[in-house]
Amino acid sequence: MTAPAPQSYDLFIVRSGGKRHLWRNPNAGVTVTDAGRDSRLSWRIGGREESRLWTDIVALTLSSATTGKNAVNHCRIDFRDGGWLLVTAADASGLFDARRGPTYRAFVQALHARLAQAPAGTIRFNAGISGGRYKAMQISVTIAALFFVALPIGLLLVVRDLRALGVLAAGAALVWPFWKVLANNRPRSYDPRQPPDELIG
């Protein structure tokens, strides 16, 4: 039986040891190869080809971050030697890019289809951010909600000035994207056969 052809995805990547914050990321392109024992993940950094076998993967983490009105999804792949690769649905500047959404979703689904075949317990599948970051984000979003939503409601009830409705609407629009990202990034594990839909696009 012929092995499936390698599938390449035009997505920007960052790997351990490289710069995480770039004005413009020059590194794009990741390939999923399903070839039995030689199944691997490949990518190019600085014009140099790199790859890892599936058996080198020990953890996968799906998360998202807000860039204002929209959230950008990320997939971090951790390897046995402590290195990692981050594949993102963002554009070269790290901002939301609607055109890359379907490509990112296809990549994550292909990756999970292969990794779901690994023996149980050999790969950790995590969703969301770390517990510490999640608690800090909870506090920040709660403070923002009190200031931008609860306070205008209080003003409306006390002074009965309808102009407070405009402030309330603006505040709710500002807080909502962060509240949604917070909910999606609750730390948890998941079944690789059913990755969380809200984190894959």
Q: Over 80: is that where the pLDDT of 70 sits? A: yes
Q: Over 60: is that where the pLDDT of 74 sits? A: yes
State the Cα–Cα distance between residues 65 and 41, nearest whole angstrom.
24
State the Cα–Cα distance between residues 191 and 173, nearest whole angstrom.
33
**Which residue in 183, 171, 177 sits closest to 147, CA to CA?**
171
Task: Tokens for 117, please give them.
Answer: 């075949």
Task: Tokens for 145, please give them.
Answer: 């909600």
Give me the mean pLDDT over the 126-144 stretch.
88
Whole-prediction pTM: 0.83
pLDDT of residue 56: 96
State the Cα–Cα distance between residues 163 and 170, nearest whole angstrom.
11
Which secondary-structure segment (H or E) carries 131? helix 131-145
Are residues 100 and 89 in contact, defined by beta-carbon separation less than 8 angstroms? yes
Give me the mean pLDDT over the 97-119 stretch.
93
State the Cα–Cα distance between residues 70 and 86, nearest whole angstrom.
19
